[in-house]
Structure 1
Amino acid sequence: MPHNHRDGHCSHESHEHDHDHSHAANDLGPNDNLFPHIDRANVVALNGTGQGSIVIKPWDQRNNEEVFLESDADDQLILRIPFTGSVRLRSLLLKAGPGDQTPTKVALFPNQPSMDFNDISDKAPVQEFNVPQDRNIAEHAVKTAKFSNVSSLTLFFPASQGADTTRIYYVGLLGHWTERKSDPVITVYEAQANLADHEKIQGTDGNFSTTQS
């Protein structure tokens, strides 16, 4: 069984890459980095050896190889990434590998928050990219018109490039975030008369006029 050594350890020395010269905006990276708008607590990895959120790293940790996500039973992997608002996606950033553990490609499915392996064969990806065997972070620019109102993004890695498992170090997303006008997940709050006294809850803008008693 090749699946009993997944504790986030990696023998590759890359500590010199952990911090680089890009420290703009308190290490948030590019102005359109969506990291602050990913609902990291609810990121899900299917057939993964760890929490999916471990590859959703802050900008200054994007080259860190000590923490990674690896596929478990075979070399397929699904990563479901919800956002805290509506996103107009521009690019996917991906660091994977090494070598044959690099996925052959990544398929993107917007707004499929519950997609699992049973659904994959029934749905065509909106876009997919071949993944190079490269230890650097690759940027894949999406067709923005097809990713203009995204509340969640599902990534499907169908196979490795020859290894028994697929390994992902970092997933980053660039684009424009806007607050949701309504969110069915928190509609329970809309009936509370004291909503305005609470700390702002994401997605309730515009709903106060409907809760007056």
Structure 2
Amino acid sequence: MCDHGHGNGGHGGCASHAQTFDYGGTGMEYHMVNYIDKDKVVVLNESVDGSGVKVFKAWDNRIDRTDYVESDVDPELLFNIPFTGHVKITGITLIGDLDESHPSDLRIFKDREIMSFSDVANAKPDQEMKLKQDDSGQIDYPLIAAKFSNVHHLTLYFPTNFGDDVTRIFYIGLRGDFQHNFREKAVIATYESRPMADDHKAEIPDAAHHHIC
């Protein structure tokens, strides 16, 4: 069922009370970390630059609290997560502390690259859910299967926590399946291997040089 009237700012989205269940550590595989393009992950409002990407760990290392991300000026955290190909995401789990620093809400957007805080404030999430405090990754939050198939980019927005000034996350796990590589890029690479002089009269700006303030 969908609770369209719930959520901060009047956002719609399905699953502010998405089904959650305690799976007891068995039967779930959060291996999608293997398909995250970590060099291109962008995390906004992290107190330490580069700390956000480190919460995407192998499942066996989820309890290791050496690496974590903490928000900076307020509780908000925003993760822009590109993948190395097209994937299907079927569920998410995360680890925080059993205190007020644990995120309490999550809004998820698919295939909207490099979103800012103003972007997420004005866009309808593809799925929204309330979170429970979890310090060991015991709770799985299923994603809407029809919406998160053939995804190449995922945005995770944590707008609030349980009352602390900062939000702290130790681990984010994604479950799902890799579907296929970016075939379009392979075609472009083949074409560019035999360049023609006329092809380069007007150079196309390199999208990789975009800067996020």
Aligned pairs (5 A) from 1:55-134 = 55-134=55-134
Equivalents in 1 of 2:120, 2:59: separation in Å? 30
The change in CA–CA distance for 1:186 and 1:56 in structure 2 (over 3 A counts) is: farther
Q: Is residue 201 of structure 2 the alignment partner of residue 187 of structure 1?
A: no
Equivalents in 1 of 2:55, 2:159: separation in Å? 18
The residue that corresponds to 2:168 in the other structure is: 167
CA offset at residue 114 of structure 1?
1.3
Q: TM-score, normalised by structure 2?
A: 0.72
Equivalents in 1 of 2:104, 2:187: separation in Å? 38
The gaps in structure 2 that reach 5 residues or longer are 1-24, 195-213
Q: Which of the numbers 32, 35, 38 marks the counterpart of 1:37?
A: 35
Equivalents in 1 of 2:86, 2:165: separation in Å? 36
Contact 1:78–1:154 (Cα < 8 Å) also in 2: yes
The change in CA–CA distance for 1:185 and 1:113 in structure 2 (over 3 A counts) is: farther
CA offset at residue 143 of structure 1?
0.6
Q: Which moved more, 1:129-138 or 1:158-167?
A: 129-138
Equivalents in 1 of 2:163, 2:187: separation in Å? 44
Using CA pairs below 8 Å that are at least 6 residues apart, which structure has the higher relative contact order? 2
Contact 2:103–2:167 (Cα < 8 Å) also in 1: yes
CA offset at residue 135 of structure 1?
1.1
The residue matched to 2:146 in structure 1 has which SS? helix
Q: Partner letter of residue 143 of structure 2?
A: V
Contact 1:97–1:166 (Cα < 8 Å) also in 2: no
CA offset at residue 88 of structure 1?
1.0
Q: Deviations over 1:99-123 (max 9, x none)?
A: 1001111111011111110111211
Equivalents in 1 of 2:156, 2:130: separation in Å? 13
Q: Deviations over 1:7-45 (max 9, x none)?
A: xxxxxxxxxxxxxx98xxxxxx82x62121111111111
Contact 2:92–2:175 (Cα < 8 Å) also in 1: yes
Contact 1:97–1:103 (Cα < 8 Å) also in 2: no
The change in CA–CA distance for 1:184 and 1:114 in structure 2 (over 3 A counts) is: farther
Contact 2:31–2:58 (Cα < 8 Å) also in 1: no
The residue that corresponds to 2:211 in the other structure is: none
Q: Partner letter of residue 47 of structure 2?
A: T
Equivalents in 2 of 1:159, 1:58: separation in Å? 26
Question: Sequence identity of aligned pairs in percent?
Answer: 33
CA offset at residue 155 of structure 1?
0.3
The residue matched to 1:147 in structure 2 has which SS? coil
The change in CA–CA distance for 1:59 and 1:134 in structure 2 (over 3 A counts) is: closer
Number of residue pairs matched by the alignment: 167
Equivalents in 1 of 2:141, 2:184: separation in Å? 29
Q: TM-score, normalised by structure 1?
A: 0.72
Contact 2:150–2:179 (Cα < 8 Å) also in 1: no
The residue that corresponds to 2:46 in the other structure is: 48
Equivalents in 1 of 2:41, 2:168: separation in Å? 17
The residue matched to 2:66 in structure 1 has which SS? coil
The residue that corresponds to 1:153 in the other structure is: 154
The change in CA–CA distance for 1:186 and 1:120 in structure 2 (over 3 A counts) is: farther
The residue matched to 1:101 in structure 2 has which SS? coil
